[in-house]
A and B are shown apart, each in its own frame.
Chain A
């Protein structure tokens, strides 16, 4: 089979890639576009280390064929920071010790980001449900849930005025 030309957006940049139809989105992101944030651990959708946003929804990029992303908008963990500033979720993961080895972190961040887009004020149960598809083997869930909750609270904080 000839390779297929694929055109899609990654982190708001238009990308053109030529790929065999059976390659996964994860493989194209990592090996062709050199975006190494999303990881492959299990390769079958159990662990969530490869989670990215596809048209606004968290998906396992190891289960999506790259050709299925034609015309889509993909956001990877590399797209969270803007203008050199970490996203508040990333900053809170650092400040709350929400990772040790870091292998799950890209997926955890994207699943949490997807949650906060839909639900800006989640309770701990909702945060747990949102990251149910992401495994952390350093047993860091507690800190991750706190970091996401803290981010939600930070983002809801009204901007301080001179009177306050």
Chain B
């Protein structure tokens, strides 16, 4: 590895100041589960490492109008959060499927999003909850809807002088539930071949008033399947409807062939897993297909 300087600021203002003073070559580090191997293989060669460990930013809490997850909350923190289990079960399911306990104890929400892998496990569930990334810089703070956050594999809208400080989940409608399914080569320690998150909200008549479907590992970025959502909205839940939404989600995906699976297989699995995730989300609302 190269030999960068190291700084562990005590406050966000200090961290932002350090970023502002070194526009290039600064690398933020949180859990290090992605970054340390990247530094060892020289994919990343920072001049200054800024460690976020003293900044707090790790709480998961209800605010007046939603849930705030500090960027340094670990996958284990998500897994053990009663608040998220109640309101965002698909997010908890996705955290449970990440790697194994030692990685989950270090890896963070912020790192999972900023690393911007198309296979980021937390991204599809956060997309179905309409989450926003809160980005701070010495210029101020801005919120970016997660669906506008990713720009490509490894790429985000984050500027050089910005830090992702928290993820904000707006209030989840009461008559709403969700499900996350990950298909990997193994149950643990596996990068997703395909992942799907789905969320359904029902109106008083039992029809779907709002649908969200998000897909991982089947496009350059974690993506919303907007056409599949449109197929679902305004209709009563049924096996046929979920199957149709699965077919449409499959057609929206654009997976590549890689060492884990062929694109063709992935595309077929999008249809299957979308159908299953929708049926499971509906099952959590008392429905049955």
Give the interface segment out of B97-105, B121-129, B277-285.
Answer: B97-105
Give the interface segment out of B33-41, B130-138, B145-153, B204-212.
Answer: B33-41
| Closest B residue to A60 using CB positions | B102
List, in ascending order, chain B residues with CB within 8 A of A35's CB: none
Knowing A46-B189, A70-B8, say if A60 contacts B103 (CB, 8 Å). Answer: yes
B36/A65 in contact, CB under 8 A: yes
- Indicate whether A146 reaches chain B with its CB closer than 8 angstroms: no
Least distance between A27 CB and chain B CB atoms (Å): 11
A45/B99 in contact, CB under 8 A: yes
List, in ascending order, chain B residues with CB within 8 A of A54's CB: 105
List, in ascending order, chain A residues with CB within 8 A of B6's CB: 1, 4, 21, 67
A134/B100 in contact, CB under 8 A: yes
A residues 56-88 touching B (CB-CB < 8 Å): 57-60, 62-65, 67-68, 70
A residues 92-125 touching B (CB-CB < 8 Å): 111, 114
List, in ascending order, chain A residues with CB within 8 A of B36's CB: 24, 62-65
B1/A22 in contact, CB under 8 A: yes
List, in ascending order, chain A residues with CB within 8 A of B102's CB: 45, 48, 51, 58-60, 111, 133
A65/B32 in contact, CB under 8 A: yes
Least distance between A148 CB and chain B CB atoms (Å): 14
Which of B3, B32, B37, B187 has most A Cβ within 10 Å?
A: B32
Knowing A68-B51, A133-B101, say if A59 contacts B3 (CB, 8 Å). Answer: no
- Indicate whether A130 reaches chain B with its CB closer than 8 angstroms: yes
B105/A132 in contact, CB under 8 A: no
Least distance between B121 CB and chain A CB atoms (Å): 14
Number of interface residues of A (CB under 8 A): 32
B29/A58 in contact, CB under 8 A: no
Which of B40, B49, B101, B105 has most A Cβ within 10 Å?
A: B101
Pick the contact of A48 from B1, B31, B100, B187 — CB < 8 Å?
A: B100
Least distance between B279 CB and chain A CB atoms (Å): 25
A44/B100 in contact, CB under 8 A: no
B106/A133 in contact, CB under 8 A: no
| Closest B residue to A51 using CB positions | B102
| Closest B residue to A43 using CB positions | B40
A59/B105 in contact, CB under 8 A: yes
Knowing A21-B49, A58-B101, say if A68 contacts B32 (CB, 8 Å). Answer: yes
B33/A43 in contact, CB under 8 A: no
A44/B37 in contact, CB under 8 A: yes
Least distance between A76 CB and chain B CB atoms (Å): 14
The complex places the Cα of A30 from the Cα of B282 at a distance, in Å, of 52
- Indicate whether B195 reaches chain A with its CB closer than 8 angstroms: no
List, in ascending order, chain A residues with CB within 8 A of B165's CB: none
The complex places the Cα of A132 from the Cα of B100 at a distance, in Å, of 5
Least distance between B201 CB and chain A CB atoms (Å): 32
The complex places the Cα of A111 from the Cα of B76 at a distance, in Å, of 14
- Indicate whether A143 reaches chain B with its CB closer than 8 angstroms: no
Least distance between B26 CB and chain A CB atoms (Å): 13
B residues 80-107 touching A (CB-CB < 8 Å): 99-103, 105-106
Knowing A132-B101, A133-B189, say if A63 contacts B3 (CB, 8 Å). Answer: no
The complex places the Cα of A62 from the Cα of B41 at a distance, in Å, of 13
Least distance between B106 CB and chain A CB atoms (Å): 5
- Indicate whether B62 reaches chain A with its CB closer than 8 angstroms: no
Contact sample, A vs B, 6 pairs, CB 8 Å cutoff: A22-B39, A48-B102, A60-B102, A67-B51, A114-B101, A134-B100
